[in-house]
Amino acid sequence: MICVFNIKKFLTSGIIAFGLMVFLCVEVARAEVSQDAVEKEIDSLSASEMAERALVDTLYYNFDPWFPRFERRIKRLEASPQTIDNQLELMRFYFYLAGLNGELTHVLSFTSKFQVEKIKKDFLYYSGKAKDLAEALLENPKLSKAHHADALYFLGVSEGYMALLEYGEGDLLSALIDGLRADNHLEDALELDPGHADAHVGLGIYRYGNTRLGGLSNFIMQGGSDLRLVGLRHIETALEKQILSRPLALKSLTWFYLSEQLNPDNVGLPDANPLSSYVARSRTLYLLDQYEGLYFRDSPPNFVGNKGLAMMKGIQYVIDGDYSKALEQFEKNLKICEHLIQVKKFKINPKYVDTIKAAADFCRLMIAAGVDSNTLNPKSCGKINEQIAFIENGGSMIEYESSKIRGEIQDVFHHRLQDLSSRLDC
């Protein structure tokens, strides 16, 4: 009986194991078929449809699948007859693949001292291809008015993206020249076709950014005019319409309003003024809620968070003097960076991580010093003086492309520390 029982048990176990193996094979096959169906569906999308999906995916740091998808379509179009329609679509794919690399440079926090050569090389290559093809199309006498506007738009955004990278790397002259060209071409595209609403985003970033840059560059490029409000309204206009670049528009506009809360030019403005700190704070909070609600409250599984959103929220909490909530955001940012570096193998600029750690230390110090409870702790003087010295010796608690905006945000940290040192008689 024992022998018979064991044989039955063995046979039963074998049948179960075989069944499980068959089930797993079927599930793997289904997954492969499902993935193939997904790829076929994506492969049938237009350049704009693919780009819209890819751009949202970059918010979740899901870059990898999109590079081969865009490369595949580019190869197919390059091998196709070079009709005007095919050339226009190829131009779009070139630009969107450049844009994918461009977004990756922002995630990794490229500067003049920190770059990943392949990413920069691919960005410049595809930006150049989009720009060259747009210029060639504009010389074609058979181009319709709508197609002419399209070529102008992609010429402008290619130049604008290049200007952003150049500015981030500290090459101000090249950035200003490409930025001015982008401004002119985007304006021309809108004149020909007001439906190119995404052009408002590029125009807004250039006109606001150039004013904030100030100095000789603003004098040369904009006659010294204050076009901050013009720039902000361009982006606001874009957000009222159907645009592909909505995530970028929301993020850029949030940063701009965040900085306007601190801009010394706004001191003394009445609350009703559109550039007042009151309006700027209200818009910042609204846009943060919009950005988070649209893309991050119902995010993909295993998504650890967006470091850009955490950074903006953390800085707003610092401005508001809510150091406990600010600390939560900076600590979240560090966890996101750790995940991106260790799990996704992203080569993030170490200086970016250092600035977040410094911002978190600042918040811990303010909490330990009793600022939140208004019961100040004199024992904090040593660390307060350390952080003041850290900033005054070139240390940073914020990383942002614009040195002027970065400096104004950094001054918030510095002034709070100096004020606390004075109150504690350190």
Taking residue 347's Cβ as centre, other Cβ atoms within 10 Å add up to 13
Encoded amino acid at 273, one letter = N
Per the model's pLDDT, the better-predicted residue between 418 and 312 turns out to be 312
Taking CA atoms, 113 is separated from 168, 251, 394, in Å, by: 10, 24, 15
Give the span between the Cα atoms of 213 and 207, in whole angstroms: 10
CA-closest candidate to residue 306, choices 251, 244, 361, 359: 251
Render pLDDT for 240-274 as a digit per residue (tens, 0 to 9): 999 999 999 999 999 999 999 999 899 999 999 99
Total residues found in the chain within this entry = 426
Residue 339 banded pLDDT, cuts 50, 70, 90: very high
Structure tokens at 375: 């019961």
pLDDT surpasses 50 at 29: no
Encoded amino acid at 275, one letter = L
Q: Which of 55-59, 202-206, 349-353, 375-379 has the highest mean pLDDT?
A: 55-59
Render pLDDT for 273-316 as a digit per residue (tens, 0 to 9): 999 999 999 999 999 999 999 999 988 888 999 999 999 999 99
Q: What is the mean pLDDT of residues 124-130?
A: 95
Structure tokens at 200: 């408002």
CB 211 within 8 A of CB 228: yes
Per the model's pLDDT, the better-predicted residue between 426 and 193 turns out to be 193
Give the span between the Cα atoms of 33 and 151, in whole angstroms: 38
For 335, the 3-state DSSP assignment is helix
The pLDDT assigned to 15 comes to 57
CB 60 within 8 A of CB 299: yes
Give the span between the Cα atoms of 174 and 397, in whole angstroms: 28
CB 177 within 8 A of CB 162: no
What is the 3 state secondary structure string of 14-64?
HHHHHHHHHHHHHHHHHHHHHHHHHHHHHHCCCHHHHHHHHHHHHHCCCCC
The pLDDT assigned to 390 comes to 76
Q: What is the mean pLDDT of residues 160-165?
A: 85
The sign of the CA dihedral 271, 403, 202, 183 is positive
pLDDT surpasses 60 at 23: no
Give the span between the Cα atoms of 356 and 376, in whole angstroms: 25
Residue 4 banded pLDDT, cuts 50, 70, 90: very low
The pLDDT assigned to 5 comes to 41
pLDDT surpasses 50 at 10: no
The pLDDT assigned to 401 comes to 57
The pLDDT assigned to 395 comes to 66
Taking CA atoms, 361 is separated from 105, 155, 370, 379, 388, in Å, by: 27, 44, 14, 16, 12
Taking residue 15's Cβ as centre, other Cβ atoms within 10 Å add up to 10
Residue 174 banded pLDDT, cuts 50, 70, 90: confident
Render pLDDT for 181-222 as a digit per residue (tens, 0 to 9): 999 999 999 999 998 999 999 999 989 988 887 544 554 455
CA-closest candidate to residue 426, choices 372, 359, 365, 347: 365
